[in-house]
Structure 1
């Protein structure tokens, strides 16, 4: 298996709107639900330089936006919080409601209900409330990426290397499973959507682990192929067995979960990977946020070598967040400029959120 090297030339992604965030922006997530697909959230955080305590404090907020070809980019709400480290919408409506999960620097998972164009805190779970040392909850994922459920599971990873699986029931969060997975920070956790007993995790120890939550403590597979910390994992909801991973080693890897000894494909990107997202339409393309190396759309067709098809370099300092909108092509066509898909991206130190339009061969 050869390692491909990309050619990071600028291509055709056109900025529709931009917004300067209060703090460093690290997460963009589009609402997947039909009636709200023009809405998205942006999470951000910043170290509190005025804090004199020994434990670092992070300030943050969640912005709720919409985009419309007539009214443009509209800010509906700013929810002031501590530092936001990850945001994810539940893929399915839960008892008719759109739910947003947020994890933060105070070691808390929060669930917001989206209604009447605003986010309202529904419930929360505080991890390690009696611990003096600050634990950051670094990532979350919902179990319903493929199969709908009114009582979904949520996996979370933390800065101590732990993995948590929680059960959401109406308005309550309870811990179903917990185990220690990584020596250092567990940067990412995700469900294998085809069998949600399988929990994926990646850490700063460069390990890619697969756990069965019914067994917990011992991983069923332990892969050491990544050359540095594993930062992103995403299960493909339409192609069984396929998983994408990203790493500080600047490579995207594709995996077959049945044969985890070695990745099935590897592609060198022009920067460190932080976010990888399968497209929501055909799951043949990956949106990749590469920190100092730009944001890119990568073709990842079965039985074809991976390759960059579009690149975006408006973000100058740490591209952390990237997500596809779920807007269909008829809605996308209403926005000026060529293309059939809208994406959202954000960067940290330049505090920049961008909404852009491009073309992808779905």
Structure 2
């Protein structure tokens, strides 16, 4: 049986829980990976990991997740490769996707069709407990009452404690980012104190498997080069990644203003959605822009990659180029590919998903008035 978490026992995890939080629960500080571990664990981490462990022990997943073969591929980008063959053969069949703006279809699988034991927690921010939404939100999808943000298991996990955050689950939103959803994801990052906690999101035509708004999250006990990747300013709080295989945009949490960061990222992703540009988003702890990897000056970084579209259902190659791969975490499905993967080969595969220099420069040009709020 799983060890008790705080004052709780495994029996307390037999039904979905509710985790209420406020700004007082945010953890803004994190340590460089060079400093001695173990990782710091917050109350949220303990609750989440305890419930996930309990679900694994009860057999609620399609397969058990024993220790994954993991290695850091030699090179300056330090790609983290993991061999996970079961995910390729035992996962739910991905949906056919033909458009970034494909509408929600209630007849297809969605997260209202899951079993109760797949739900771990309801994530309840204080500002929504009394049905009060942020009046300054640019998000036309903001809901004022009865907005359930649930955390569920990914029954085909790619790493330890792989979960899905499903914001506003009952509203049956398509896989399109809203400002509120981005803010909830940032909240979840900040109430975790584990520096290996990662959150990712794939748009339709960027390897999203289910057309119902959701994020992936998991713990990866390895540093990623994206945490300290070099950036240069574009405009306002928007930067671009430099010296990286894929062209993308970068943002960081400044002055602990979560709402402002969510608003800025939403302006960009909303433009991509409106213009049928496939995109992926990754949230991680990392250094403040311009700081070295060993700096103690750290924050939360958000990356958004506009990319070439992928149509239809997911293929089953060595790895698909979705958000984890763009961030430098490579879950590989074929043992031979895992054994022979090199930095050059991985970078080549990633570049195939990237916009060209001309396409990316045009995107930046079109984003200028968007980022200026015009």
Does the pair score TM above 0.5? no
TM-score (norm 2): 0.24
Higher relative contact order (CA 8 A, sep 6+): 2
Structure number with higher helix proportion: 2
Structure number with higher strand proportion: 1
